[in-house]
Amino acid sequence: MTGSTAASIGTIALADQLNRLRERVPLPAQDVARATGADLETVQGWLGREAAPMGACANRLTELIAVIDEMAGTFKPDSLPSWLSDAAPALDGQAPADAIAAGGYERVMDLALGLSAGAFT
């Protein structure tokens, strides 16, 4: 197997992971696009397995999936899309999706871990 084939398989697996996540959490494609910096058509290609996430978008998608996985254990799945798109005081008023897109994954994950641990009551 060539390196590019292995990378392609890995990124298709990432798209499959996104689809499995969306079976548990009603995450609109628009929210995925917002958090990854990809356009909506690209995200729809990922969801249909017609395209594979690559580069920075693949990194942001991995981060988004990790944050949602963390939050899914704490919050009702239906509330997660609004949590992603609402301004968060702990992120200086930035929405978690926008913070992820801007490379602020660590800040968002710290917030998610704090919420999961009950640090913000």
Q: What is the pLDDT of residues 60-117, one digit of tens each?
A: 999 999 999 999 888 899 999 999 999 999 999 999 999 999 999 999 999 999 988 8
Closest CA to 68 of 40, 94, 35, 33: 35
C-beta atoms surrounding 46 within 10 Å: 27
Encode pLDDT of 15-59 as tens digits: 899 999 999 999 999 999 999 999 999 999 999 988 889 999 999
pLDDT of residue 8: 54
